[in-house]
Amino acid sequence: MNQKSQLQQLLKSYSDDILLDQLFHDKLAPAVLGLSEFLFELADIQQSDNQRTHLSTPSGNAIGPFWAASCSKELFRTQRFIKALHQAIGDKLQSVDGPIHVLYAGTGPFALLALPIMTQFSPEEVQFTLLEINPISFEKMNNCISELGLKDYINATHCVDAVKYKLNEKNIDILISETMCNGLYKEPQVSILLNLVSQLDQDCTIIPELIEVSLSEEDSSNSLSKIASLMSFDRKYIDDVILNSSPICWAFPEVFIQHTFNTTTKYFLTTDIQIYKNHTLTLNESSLNLPRRFHVTTENLNNPQSIQYKIGEIPEFRLA
């Protein structure tokens, strides 16, 4: 067995364990952490300045290679996104002749969600187009694919800003992007999906299917209760924004909240994610689901609060 075959076998062993049916099991942590360590070494991820530096764009931060790679260590986040993509491809293969074409926007330095999937299907069943804005991450991702001998699974790779990218081909079956922080803060997930979905057919599967951001308040026992939904970012919401605005300036609806606010209560943005069907991430299950503090202005405590999502160098929910 040559070196590439040995590396593929090791990658497949991690993938097999991550894809086991149970939500939590004895093999999960060793598989996810083993996969992360394996890819860190393969991609030569270092804590050097150039690998820790974020790229600032007009639509949000593209995080540096080291930080993007570090996300792979989150057990449930890695497990559930990989399982979701695996099931989505399998579901498509039930009704569509292969290969299923997956567009993966924001790959980081080793296309974490794609590489394990390549050990589960043949190149005749799935093909990937990979987009990454950071040139260091882009080079490392391509090197990983080459080292693993997985080029047969690659339709194309592009070092581009997915917020501005114009698709050369529209036959995309699945779009996946995981370029976000909790509360849809700072990173360009929203802008990436709006741009790409605006160019895709209605039958394209979008992953995540739903990102729900709510305004919540903390009670005396430090528990959180939801006051109102601020955004249900799914295909319908995306289509509505595309219909009612333009790529030059995406416009989001204001949410008016009738609630008795006070200065002693802490308010937070909470994030729930339906990745695909029954694959979900909810409160505190990953860094994407940590509550994010939200400050209500004291001068307007007795008035309805109007909150709106804004795109910019720091995308975020703001008091309108």
* Alpha carbon distances (Å) from 234 to 63, 99, 185, 193, 195: 24, 25, 17, 10, 14
Q: Is the pLDDT of residue 300 over 80?
A: no
pLDDT over 90 at 204, yes or no: yes
Give the tens place of pLDDT for each residue, 7-60: 999 999 999 999 999 999 999 999 999 999 999 999 999 988 889 898 899 999
Residue 301 structure tokens: 């405590």
Pick 96 or 30 by higher pLDDT. 30
pLDDT at res. 7: 95
Domains identified in the chain and CATH numbers: 3-319 (3.40.50.150)
Contact yes or no for 199/129 (Cβ under 8 A) = no
In this predicted structure, the answer to whether residue 61 has a pLDDT above a threshold of 90 is yes
Residues 178, 85 contacting (CB under 8 angstroms): no
- Judge contact between 103 and 89, C-beta under 8 A: no
* pLDDT at res. 1: 67
At 74 the pLDDT is: 98
pLDDT at 220: 84
Structure tokens at 170: 């529209």
For residues 237-249, average pLDDT: 93
Q: Which helix (H) or strand (E) holds 4?
A: helix 3-18
In this prediction the pTM is 0.96
8 Å CB contact between 102 and 114: yes
Q: What is the CA radius of gyration of the chain?
A: 20
Label residue 260 by pLDDT band (50, 70, 90). confident
Please report where in the chains the tokens 């790779």 appear, as a residue: 157
Can you read off the two tokens belonging to residue 52?
């820790």
Specify whether the CB–CB gap between 82 and 113 falls below 8 A.
yes
Which are the contacts of 17, defined by CB distance < 8 A and separation ≥ 6? 27, 28, 30, 31
Cα separation, 123 vs 154, in Å, equals 8
- Binned at pLDDT 50, 70 and 90, residue 244 comes out as very high
The CA dihedral of 27, 20, 233, 109, to the nearest 10 degrees, is: 60
Which parts of 94-234 fold into alpha helices (H)?
A: 115-118, 135-148, 189-197
Taking each helix axis from N to C end, the angle separating 75-93 and 28-43, rounded to the nearest 10 degrees, works out to 90
- Measured distance CA(185)–CA(52) in Å, rounded: 19
pLDDT digits (tens, 9 = 90+) for 151-170: 999 999 999 999 999 998 88
Which band of pLDDT confidence, cut at 50, 70 and 90, is reported for residue 232? very high
Average pLDDT (130-159) is 97
Determine contact, residues 92/203, Cβ cutoff 8 Å. Answer: no
Q: Which of 33-37, 175-179, 252-256, 296-300 has the lowest mean pLDDT?
A: 296-300
Give the confidence band of 264 by pLDDT, cuts at 50, 70, 90. Answer: confident
Q: How far apart are CA 105 and CA 160, in angstroms?
A: 9
Give the DSSP letter of residue 91: H
